[in-house]
Amino acid sequence: MAHDIEIIEKTPAEYAYKKRRSDRLMRSQLMMFALMIFMTLISFAAVQAGFSAYFVIPVVLLLAAVQVGLQLYYFMHMSEKGHGLVAFFMYGGILIAFLTVLTFVTIIWW
């Protein structure tokens, strides 16, 4: 039952490329992380400041949506190759869900 395990050695150039790439990824992830914390702070501040609910709720929802996007693209690597189909399914699902909710809001609960 010998199963040949293939060992592939990286060339120095490959190694350097991988390293540069992960450095870049790390930097962008840290920046996004800071940005997301900042947005969370804004949300809390908006609630604390006692603005009108008609202002606060849309702002918080908008920031939440932006955060979901950042999460997907910067932390879950959706921008990288091979995620096209996943993205297609997600956006398809979002579109359908949006239309469904829109219908419910307009013709049942309005």
What is the binding site for other proteins (CB under 8 A)? Answer: 1, 3, 85, 89, 92-93, 96, 99-100, 103-104, 106-108
* E strand or H helix that includes residue 18: helix 12-48
Minimum distance from residue 96 beta carbon to other proteins (Å) = 5
Closest CA to 107 of 99, 71, 26: 99
C-alpha dihedral (76, 77, 82, 86), degrees to nearest 10: 40
Closer residue to other proteins, CB minimum distance, 55 or 104:
104
Closer residue to other proteins, CB minimum distance, 22 or 100:
100
